[in-house]
Amino acid sequence: MDVILFTFFALVAIVGAVNLVLQKHPISSALSLVAVMVALSVLFLLLGAEFIAAAQLVVYAGAIMVLFVFVIMLLNAGAERESRKGGFAQFLGLPLTAILLVFASYVITQSMSNAKAVKFGAFSGGGPREVGWELFTRYLLPFEVTSILILIAIAGAVVLARKEID
């Protein structure tokens, strides 16, 4: 059952990611990204990260992607035009990413020789209780710094997006 679920949702994630890159219209790309995020959330669940799976759905697929779609609609962004400027990335992009992928896969298979097999339910330390305990004891200072970051982000977004009044 693990193999079936992993294969299905991994395929959904990869097809969604490829579709995100290939689609010409930003709305189609945004919907593909939502599919990738939902698939990844199921994979988090298979890895025993219940809280992160829920946060992935709520924060990423919910909040962030709604913001994206909202901005795409607001700007009335149409399909992307082809342009011949900047040929460097056009010609070298695909080979370089392929090299990156092959190298990363090689390093992973070489260095992770004592890797466990993933079985659903084998690791149960990812519930809200365990994550919350770690977050409010060992990671309390980073958590508080995060709140300052969010505050700066809110102020920055308001300042950047306001209309000039003069």
Partner 1 sequence: MSQLLPPEFFTATVPLNAYLILSAILFAIGAFGFMFRKNIITIYMCIELMLNAVNLSFVTFSYQFGKVDGQIYSFFVMVVAAAEAAVGLAIILTIFRNRGTLQIDEIDTLKN
Scanning residues 27 to 56, which ones bind partner 1 (CB under 8 A)?
29-30, 33, 36-37, 40, 43-44, 46-49, 51-52, 55-56
Told to check if 73 binds partner 1 by CB under 8 A, we report: no
The single residue among 8, 73, 97, 140 that binds partner 1, judged by CB under 8 A, is 97
The single residue among 1, 121, 144, 165 that binds partner 1, judged by CB under 8 A, is 1
**SS3 for 1?**
coil
Residues 130-149 interacting with partner 1 (rule: CB under 8 A): 130-131, 134-135, 139, 142, 146, 149
Burial 113-139, CB ≥16 within 10 A → b, else e: eeeeeeeeeeeeebeeeebeeeeeeee
- What are the φ/ψ torsions at residue 106 (nearest 5 degrees)? -65, -45
The single residue among 141, 161, 165, 166 that binds partner 1, judged by CB under 8 A, is 161
> What are the tokens at 91?
């010609």
Phi-psi region of 48 (alpha: psi -120 to 50; beta: other; left: phi over 0): left
Least separation in angstroms between CB 166 and partner 1:
15
